[in-house]
Structure 1
Amino acid sequence: MNISNFFKALSYVCSFPDFLNQSKAVEQVTLTLITHRYPKKLFAYIRKNFMKVTKDPVEKIIDGLYYIHIGLFPVQLIVLPQLPPNRYLWLHCLTNHITKDMPLEELGLAYKPHEDDPVYKTFMNAVIRANSLNEGDEASMCEALEELFASRLEAREQKGLEEGISRLSTLIGKLLDSNRIADIKRVTEDPGYRESLFSEFHL
């Protein structure tokens, strides 16, 4: 988070009244900024230029959470690596710099009871996408996330395999009932033809 990005974010918020056609829209806004690095230059700039507005324009609330008092609207800045992971696990892991040193086991345990919840799914999908490594046309998760989701991915693959076998068995049964013996051999050799028969029999 540099000085330019900070004031760019402020300008976006200041444009809300015109965008929403509500003159008091800014009064209902709290700007939250998240960064992966301690913004030393930004904080120094704010302290130097906004001391007349308030005694302490940059207030540290806890490790990783700072309130910035600049007289416009509430601004809070979160420095992810500084957040206590035991208290702010989800925020701490909201990063595109996942490593094995992060509390991934705790994240997995916290996520497990909510894995069918759309909100939690959205969060985890965001983390996975942010930490995917593009290799040619394929995207692979970073090693740390692969380990976290290994059992889940294996279970999904096993389920897919079982469903595929069941689907193929049903198709072969229908071909036998229709006395289409020649098609059975072709189904096992020609994926395109197999898919066309799946469509034909609505499987």
Structure 2
Amino acid sequence: MGKRILQWHPAFQAALQIELSQSKDFLQFEREYNLTEKPLQIDTLIIKKDPGCQIEKSIGRIFRQYNIVEYKSPEDYISVNDFFKVNGYTCIYQANTEREMQIRPEELTVTLAGYHFPRKLLLFLREHYHADIKDPYPGIYYISGFLFPIQILVIGELSKEENVWLSRLRNDLQLAEDIEPLAKAYKGMEKNPMYAAAMDLIVRANWKKYQEGRKMCEALRELFEDELKEREKQGIGKGIEQGIERGIEQGKADAVLELLGELGPVPEQLRMQIMSQTDCKILTAWIKLAAKAASMEEFAACIAE
């Protein structure tokens, strides 16, 4: 069976709403909001229905009335271009109204959410704009000095206690630390579409670990037995597992090449070495190396060790 593409964005939408469910009466979520008549879309627009309400969750404390969110999946990363793109989208959203100042600029915020720490972006903002960057909560970075208040969410660094779902929207979950707590949080919520969407993607992205957990953990086996059997009947067994693995490997290799591309043209021999690597753990390590490397030569030397 061919490569199966994991649909991360719908699960992100669900996990984001779950994390902010305490404040659901005050928030309105609109997925893939059209900025114009043509397909120019914000990943998520969060509108406070009561502008004066305070969001208790740390990921929402920066929120004002209109909040633009851009999300990057684990195989992608937050780039300098993404920073300017989402700020541009925010400007368009503010300006694309019937009346001037119908949406006041001071009522807008920007959120960029991704799996990898955006070292190059933050370095760029410090060097070129002397940006003030603070980290008031785990995995949450505030950037000031621009048109709008901005926060970056590094999903892998978020508090797992406070953000049970969003912090685990990844493809590298551990059984005891991640999967068992998720199973407990999911129990009783199986028929809720938001929880089901988030859990469906997480199970697919961590198929091997969930199979392992089903064998080792009684509570997990009881909770997912019927669901996992049904997935196997639909083809999400060994064949689809291999397809998912190939897709994850390809995505990670592409992420390494994209990061290296910021340093210049990637030599063909190095490109072939990256694309032929099939160990996801090694590719994950290479992504981190590529994000930190100051030159192509430095990266090549590190992976050769």
Matched, 1:10 2:87: yes
* CA gap 1:31/1:154 in 2 versus in 1, 3 angstroms: same
Could you tell me how far 1:74 is from its partner in structure 2? Answer: 1.8
CA distance in 1, matches of 2:229, 2:143: 51
From 100, 107, 116, the counterpart of 1:28: 107
Aligned to 1:40: 119
Aligned to 1:59: 134
**Sequence identity of aligned pairs in percent?**
26
Matched, 1:123 2:198: yes
TM-score (ref. length: structure 1): 0.59
CA distance in 2, matches of 1:20, 1:14: 11
Contact 2:187/2:223 (<8 A) preserved: no
Which amino acid letter does the alignment assign opposite residue 115 of structure 2?
H
CA distance in 1, matches of 2:199, 2:228: 19
CA distance in 2, matches of 1:156, 1:90: 19
* CA gap 1:5/1:62 in 2 versus in 1, 3 angstroms: same
Which amino acid letter does the alignment assign opposite residue 100 of structure 1?
Q
Aligned to 1:145: 210
CA distance in 1, matches of 2:89, 2:169: 23
What does 1:46-85 correspond to in 2, within 5 Å?
46-51=125-130, 57-85=132-160
* CA gap 1:73/1:107 in 2 versus in 1, 3 angstroms: same
Q: Deviations over 1:119-156 (max 9, x none)?
A: 32232234345x2xxxxxxxxx6212343665444335
Could you tell me how far 1:29 is from its partner in structure 2? Answer: 2.7
Larger radius of gyration between Structure 1 and Structure 2: 1
Aligned to 2:48: none
Q: Deviations over 1:33-55 (max 9, x none)?
A: 1111111111111112222xxxx
CA distance in 2, matches of 1:24, 1:43: 32
Q: Deviations over 1:67-92 (max 9, x none)?
A: 11133112111111212322322121
Unaligned stretches of 5+ residues in structure 2: 1-77, 215-219, 231-305
CA distance in 2, matches of 1:42, 1:79: 13
What does 1:89-104 correspond to in 2, within 5 Å?
89-95=164-170, 97-100=171-174, 102-104=177-179
Contact 2:183/2:223 (<8 A) preserved: no
TM-score (ref. length: structure 2): 0.41
CA distance in 2, matches of 1:91, 1:33: 13
Aligned to 1:200: none
Contact 2:142/2:149 (<8 A) preserved: yes
Which amino acid letter does the alignment assign opposite residue 140 of structure 2?
L
* CA gap 1:61/1:18 in 2 versus in 1, 3 angstroms: same
Contact 1:46/1:58 (<8 A) preserved: no
CA distance in 1, matches of 2:146, 2:229: 57
Taking CA–CA contacts closer than 8 Å with sequence separation of 6 or more, which of the two structures ends up with the larger relative contact order? 2
Q: Which moved more, 1:116-125 or 1:4-13?
A: 116-125
Which amino acid letter does the alignment assign opposite residue 116 of structure 1?
K
CA distance in 1, matches of 2:225, 2:202: 20
Could you tell me how far 1:94 is from its partner in structure 2? Answer: 1.8
- How many corresponding residue pairs? 144
